Structure 1
Amino acid sequence: MSDSYRAASPQVVDTSRDATSTTLDGMTGRRAVTAAVVGNLLEWYDFAVYGYLATLIAKKFFATGDELVALMSTFAAFGVGFVVRPLGGIVIGRLADVKGRKAALMLTIFLMAAGTFLIGLIPTYESIGVLAPVLLVLARLMQGFSAGGEWGGSTAFIVEWAPDNRRGFYGSFQQASVAAGLLLGSGVAALFTTALSADQMDSWGWRIPFLLGGILAPVGIYMRRNIDESPAFREVQETKAAATPISGLALAGKAFGFTVLWSVAYYTILSYMPTFTQKFAGLSRTASLWSNTLGLVVLVVAIPLAGHLSDRAGRKPLLLTSCLAFVALPYPLFNVLVSGATLATVVSIQVLFALMIAAFSGPGPAAIAEIFPTSVRSTWMSVGYSLATAIFGGFAPLIATWLIGKTGSPISPAYYLVAAAVTTTLVIWSLRETAHDKLK
């Protein structure tokens, strides 16, 4: 919104935003944000549990006779889910900007649940041959299309419900719920790996986490069915405000660069690490999952604290601190991991990585949402975020596995993290501080 427009109609802008600032004091606002957060948690449990069971999926769906090739095929199927995220971001994001955030969020949770439930039911390669990996890829495509719309839709919805002086804190719950979904997936995988024998897990136990995801989905669907549209979206609908496609595309480019490190860190540290610590840090399957789960617990707790701090200190100080930490620390930390580290050391390193990610993920949702005007926020934010995630994040486990195979060095994934951090540092440095601005 231009300064001239604000000067011409201060009463209209201030009144609408004052009303928005009080929404979370009432039951409607709290229910809306809770529904978005719970649904988001279930969505990301569904999407992430695949990564935690990758070594088992490799055996069941890719009978190549080469363990490394089978694992790379599994992570390729994981990455396929990200390829369609930009398409989901465009289609579902546009739906959110035209028909409303609620309609988009209902669609995303249904699609994600269907894809997850399908993975739990697919016969193995031994039973149906090549049709098994084909169906697996189809299920991942459904999940990816859903995730492409979910991230932008839920981020816009939560930030638009938040008071202007608490957008960082409330927006952080979007990322906390993503981390909580990853935590739930990691915890469930660890629980069944602990409770069942290796033969039981290999035979049928790996299916249970996927089937649970499909069964739990109606909870999120019910909660989202009973929410109201965000005040900011209703205001735009009433005033018919609009932004040009060119400005939206340019802003999406900023969101793209903003997301590079965010995505690479999430999917290298939080999805790939259980596989890495099994193969190169000497942990058992159970120990690697529990270690990852403890790191995720710290992440879930730390994200809202970082979001709250960003409302006071600004978004950029925390974002840049995270970026610089990812420039300096991955190489020495990965070096420790592959040098015969104890379980306690591995857990400590994963906790440190979690704090580094939290420094970005706390202010991240509000900061990226503040780049866009409400009228195009869901569409273009989803496009920029999903493209970066598809290119750099979704294939992070595959790229990490490929780098190790190509170089022969298990430390090589650290270079990928450093390169991503340098890229995002330059983008964030160029952005202005928006923590204390009114939402456009």
Structure 2
Amino acid sequence: MTTISTPGRRRGYTTDRHRMPVRTIIAASVGNAVEWFDWTVYATFAVFFAGQIFPGDATGALLATFLTYALAFFFRPLGGILIGRLADIRGRKAGMLLTITLMAGGSLLIAILPTFSAVGWLAPALLFIARVAQGISLGGEVSNASSYLGEIAPPERRGRYSAFFYMSTGFTVLLASLLGALMTSLLGPEDLAGWGWRIPFFIGALLGLVGLWLRRDMTESDKFEESKEKAQSVRRPLWTTLTKHPRSVLILVALTMVGTLTYYTNFSALAPYAITFKGAQKSQVFWALSLATAIFVALQYPLGALSDRIGRKPLLITMTAGTALLIVPLSGLVGPGFGNMFAVYMVGLGLYAMHAALNPAFASELFPTHLRATGIGSWYNLTVATFGGTATLVVTWLGGMGIGHVFFWYVSVAAALAFLVVLFVMPETKGKILE
């Protein structure tokens, strides 16, 4: 990292001309981007490949596909604990190389998956194996990359560095959405169900190889090098995070709960719900999501920089309160029409951007370095598995019973609880020197 210094300060910040290590930041962020591309592609194209992998009617096959999606989430905590611990004692780079390899391999396996008509129950079994590998991978990826970005960033610029994490994620989710829009416009239902759904998974595998190449020259953070001996001396790291840092655990769980529900509502659950139960046109849903996602990506860096100026709490208070108040009224707009769907996505993703831009920053500021990857990886992923992994399955199940609106009340209550934690429990961590 190169820094060109000039004297002086302004509003508590140095006026040094700071040059970001862009390649390093991209290398740290690319794994999360690739992994979320694969997870979003799975949810986006599930309506097309469900009948190829599972037997039964369309609704039953779709539910089985989303059940597999949900079950994979429960391997995320395992990945968060095991790979997070690996990162705390062996290095962030080792953890990030392992996670992106697992994700790319899982994506390739899904791309070449045989159909149920060809191999019977072996098809869903192989799909489950691929999803387990990706679940373990993603569980370790978020904690490693968040820890690494937080550790290499200057304290007064951690929000800016943090913003790149979901900027890259949003870009690949946008790519997944654009693929959905393009392929539903160009291919008929038979082609999409027959072979078209495989294309995005091949692309995911290729992106994984690019990420592996980018990460080959990464160096460890100074913070890790200083703390690795202390990390190796901890005998029960998960228990230590809970007993020594209970407030940090509570804050992370509360913010992850609202963040993951908001994420999966917008990027995974709404598209199949709107198409299957509300009569929305596939192409209109995908184009509305694509445009809103582009705006979401554009908001990341400005919001990260703003959090370095005014703090993390004001943005998180706005996000949680806004989601609690607006998610239910917005759900009434879900249905036919590009304008309706764009309004839903734009407000939802605009609020979520205030969380996503800060996520690696505030997460890395909650735990000391020798427990950081383990602390984030375990509690973040346990929460995501509980609330995010079930979101698409729950909204599909409720929609099938004609009471889909209940899901949006569920998200609203979760946001209200997170609002209380941010307001009364969370300290301001802007500019914190990492322990």
- After TM superposition, is the score higher than 0.5? yes
Q: Following superposition of structure 1 onto structure 2, how do residues 236-247 of structure 1 map, counting pairs within 5 Å? A: 236-237=227-228, 245=237, 246-247=239-240
Does the Cα contact within 8 Å between 2:273 and 2:399 map onto a contact in 1?
Answer: no
Preserved contact between residue 163 and residue 358 of structure 2 (Cα < 8 Å)? yes
**SS across alignment from 2:197:** helix
CA-CA distance at 1:123 after TM superposition: 0.8
Letter in structure 2 aligned against 1:293: S
2:50 equivalent in structure 1: 58
Which residue matches 2:41? 49
Q: Which residue of 2 aligns with 1:381?
A: 376
Report SS of the residue matched to 2:249: helix
Q: Is the partner of 1:371 in helix, strand or coil?
A: coil
Structure 2 residue runs of 5 or longer lacking an equivalent are 1-14
Contact 2:178–2:287 (CA under 8 A) maintained in structure 1: yes
- 1:277, 1:283 within 8 Å by CA — same for their partners in 2? yes
State the identity %.
36
Distance 1:56 1:32 in 2: 37
Helix, strand or coil at the partner of 1:336: coil
> Does structure 1 conserve the Cα–Cα contact (< 8 Å) formed by 2:31 and 2:99?
no
- The corresponding residue for 1:370 is 365
Range moving further from structure 2, 245-254 or 161-170: 245-254
Q: CA RMSD in A?
A: 2.1
1:411 maps to 405
1:104 maps to what in 2? Answer: 95
Q: Distance in 1 between matches of 2:24 and 2:374?
A: 20
Pick the aligned partner of 1:423 from 417, 426, 430. Answer: 417
Query: What residue is the counterpart of 1:151 in the other structure?
Result: 142
2:267 matches 1:270:
yes
Q: Residues 387 and 22 (structure 1 numbering): CA distance in 2 closer, same or farther, change over 3 Å?
A: farther
Q: What's 1:432 paired with?
A: 427
Does residue 201 in structure 1 map to residue 179 in structure 2? Answer: no
Residues 1:74 and 2:65 are matched in the alignment: yes
Contact 1:93 1:152 in 2 (8 A): yes
Aligned length: 414
Residue in 1 aligned with 2:331? 334
Shifted more, 348-357 versus 385-394: the winner is: 348-357
Return the offset for 1:239. Answer: 7.5
Q: Which aligned pairs between 1:120-269 and structure 2 lie closer than 5 A? A: 120-237=111-228, 245=237, 246-249=239-242, 250=246, 251-269=248-266
Deviation at 1:240, TM superposition (A): 7.0
Please state how far the C-alpha of 1:167 moved relative to its aligned partner: 0.5
Structure 2 counterpart of 1:321, one-letter code? T
The residue that corresponds to 2:390 in the other structure is 395
Tell me which residue corresponds to 2:82: 91
**1:151-208 deviation digits (Å, cap 9, x = unpaired):** 1111111111111101111112112222222222222232222232322212111111
Q: Quick one: distance in 2 between partners of 1:23 and 1:183?
A: 32
Match of 1:37 in 2: 29
CA contact (8 A) 1:171 1:307 kept: yes
Q: Matched residues in 1 for 2:301 and 2:316: separation?
A: 14
| Matches of 2:55 and 2:49, distance apart in 1 | 10
1:56: how far off? Answer: 1.0
Match of 1:6 in 2: none
Is 2:343 the partner of 1:348?
Answer: yes
Matches within 5 A, 1:281-320: 281-320=278-317
CA distance in 1, matches of 2:56, 2:231: 56
Supply the AA of the counterpart residue of 1:203. G
Counterparts of 1:179 and 1:394 in 2: how far apart (Å)? 19
Match of 2:355 in 1: 360
Q: Contact 2:80 / 2:377 at 8 angstroms: preserved in 1?
A: yes
TM-score (structure 2 length as normaliser): 0.90
Q: CA separation of 1:228/1:302 partners in 2, compared to 1, >3 Å: closer, same or farther?
A: same
Given that 1:104 and 1:153 are in contact with CA atoms closer than 8 Å, whether structure 2 keeps it comes out as: yes
Contact 1:23 1:163 in 2 (8 A): no
Mapped partners of 2:400, 2:231: distance in 1: 54
Q: Deviations over 1:38-63 (max 9, x none)?
A: 23222221222100101012211122
| Distance in 1, Cα, partners of 2:51 & 2:302 | 40
Structure 2 residue identity aligned to 1:388 = T
Distance 2:287 2:22 in 1: 32
Aligned to 1:3: none
* 1:253 CA drift (Å): 4.2
Runs of 4 or more above 4 Å deviation: 21-24, 238-244
Deviation at 1:247, TM superposition (A): 4.2
Q: Secondary structure at the match of 1:53?
A: helix
Q: Deviations over 1:70-102 (max 9, x none)?
A: 222111111122110000001110111011000
CA distance in 2, matches of 1:387, 1:102: 23
